[in-house]
Amino acid sequence: MGFYSRLNAAWDANDSMLCVGLDPDLARFPETSQGGVQEIETFCKQIIDATGDLVCAFKPQIAYFAAYGAEKQLENICAYIRDQFPDVVLILDAKRGDIGDTAKLYAREAFVRYNADAVTVNPYLGTDSLEPFLATPDKGTIVLCRTSNAGSSELQSLVTDGEPLYLRIARIAAETWHTIGECALVVGATYPAELAAVRAIVGEMPILVPGIGAQGGDITAVVKAGRDTNRRGLIINSSRAILYADSSISFADSARKVAIETRDEINRARRVN
């Protein structure tokens, strides 16, 4: 079953467009933890257990593992998601981007080593740099389009041939990348007007939306701007707001509580006209 099919099934199975981002920040761990790399694995598995029936996807951010030499723990976490929640989509957030032979190795890292359903990639090097990802059968390639950070307009909104660069990316995705493989895009929740413009170009292509929660994106605005004609089409990511929600109860309980609230808020917005 390919990425699109798995994503559709996951949206349905848990009635959820919520994605929980696994950004295990040692400095923000519960006080009871020991703070070593093994704690990263334990912490993530507890978050997965607490939220796996509430989400369409988990998205581990590889930098949080690579900074501390915790690749083995990331492998274990990915295998745990597969084992415990086989219907949930696994997205490796790596934002890779490199030329041909090197891109093939990054595709191997994401799709073989970590067995992800999809990986985030950077388009700056062009279509040939994305082909090794796009050409992998049944896997998803999620291309950065308009990122959630404050400085994203600096290059992404430069106007070329009468339209900003991020819309050019959306157009190439719809016209070219979509014909090579199972393509999706990243558009930050902090830019709902831009999200609506991208949606108008890409039809029913899935869009990964980071930036709600700690980064301040508004859920109702995001869903209204970004949903497709089936009122689906979004993978709405929250990381810090769920992982480190409320220190007055156990972190797993507080993660579950915030995940339910967020999923429900997304679903309310999805159904209004």
Q: Check residue 272 for interaction with a second copy (CB under 8 A).
A: no
Q: Check residue 112 for interaction with a second copy (CB under 8 A).
A: yes
**Which residues ranging from 144 to 183 are in contact with a second copy (CB under 8 A)?**
144, 147-156, 158-161, 165, 168-169, 172
**With contact defined as beta carbons under 8 Å apart, do 220 and 265 qualify?**
yes
Return the number of the residue (14 or 238) whose C-beta is nearest a second copy.
Answer: 238
The site map against a second copy for 44-63 (x = CB under 8 A) is: -----------------x-x
Q: Which of 129, 122, 239 is nearest to 185 (CA)?
A: 122
CB of 107 to a second copy, least distance (A): 8
Return the number of the residue (137 or 151) whose C-beta is nearest a second copy.
Answer: 151
Return the number of the residue (8 or 215) whose C-beta is nearest a second copy.
Answer: 215
Q: Which of 45, 72, 95, 104 is catalytic?
A: 95
CB of 136 to a second copy, least distance (A): 13
Q: Which of 52, 60, 97, 140 binds a second copy (CB under 8 A)?
A: 97
SS3 helix, strand, coil % of the chain, rounded to 5?
50, 20, 30
Return the number of the residue (68 or 80) whose C-beta is nearest a second copy.
Answer: 68
In angstroms, the CA 184 to CA 8 distance is 13
Q: Which of 31, 32, 34, 69 binds a second copy (CB under 8 A)?
A: 69
Q: Which of 49, 53, 109, 138 binds a second copy (CB under 8 A)?
A: 109
Q: Check residue 79 for interaction with a second copy (CB under 8 A).
A: no
- The phi and psi torsions of 144 (rounded to 5 degrees) equal -60, 130
**With contact defined as beta carbons under 8 Å apart, do 166 and 198 qualify?**
yes
Length of the chain: 273
In angstroms, the CA 124 to CA 127 distance is 9
Q: Which of 124, 200, 216, 246 binds a second copy (CB under 8 A)?
A: 124
Q: Is 95 a catalytic residue?
A: yes
**With contact defined as beta carbons under 8 Å apart, do 20 and 47 qualify?**
yes
Q: Which of 134, 142, 117 is nearest to 58 (CA)?
A: 117
Token pair belonging to 225: 């701007």
SS (H, E, C) 133-148: HHCCCCCEEEEEEECC
In angstroms, the CA 53 to CA 132 distance is 32
Instruction: Pick the piece of the chain touching a second copy (CB under 8 A) from 52-60, 82-90, 94-102, 265-273.
Output: 94-102
Residue 256 DSSP class: H
Q: Which of 15, 128, 175, 246 binds a second copy (CB under 8 A)?
A: 128
CA neighbours closer than 13 Å in the CB half-sphere of residue 217:
32
| Residue ranges binding a second copy (CB under 8 A) | 23, 25, 61, 63-64, 66-69, 71-72, 75, 95-103, 105-106, 108-109, 112-113, 122-129, 144, 147-156, 158-161, 165, 168-169, 172
Catalytic residues: 95
